Amino acid sequence: MTLIKKGHTICWGTAGFSIRVLLPAEQGLASILYGYLPDRFQFYFSHLETAVAPADLTRLRQQLFGYGVFRETGKKTLTARVTAEDETALRQVYPFVLNWVDTLVKV
């Protein structure tokens, strides 16, 4: 199933893009993935804190670190450089995150 069919959106800006996922009830959409030119890909945890249990967010953080491409760049942000060496791992991160959101964030 595609990103759009799941109720998620891609928002394009002047410096990059964000991927917004649908949260329960009145919480609406939350941006969790960001891409910036020329080579930055980020996961942002803050917008999920009202919809997901802290233990689940901790587990997600550990799983994302397991891909070997992210480094912590703030209390609520993980950043990966988009490189040829990391392309395979990053292509796995994207569907993993969307499936994770669909499983844990019950709309």
Query: pTM of the entire structure?
Result: 0.85
Strands, E, within the chain: which ranges?
9-12, 16-22, 29-36, 40-44, 70-74, 77-81
Q: Which two tokens stand for residue 81?
A: 């450089």
Over residues 5-18, the pLDDT tens digits come to 566 889 999 999 99
pLDDT tens-digit series, residues 25-73: 667 788 999 999 999 999 999 988 888 889 999 999 999 999 999 999 9
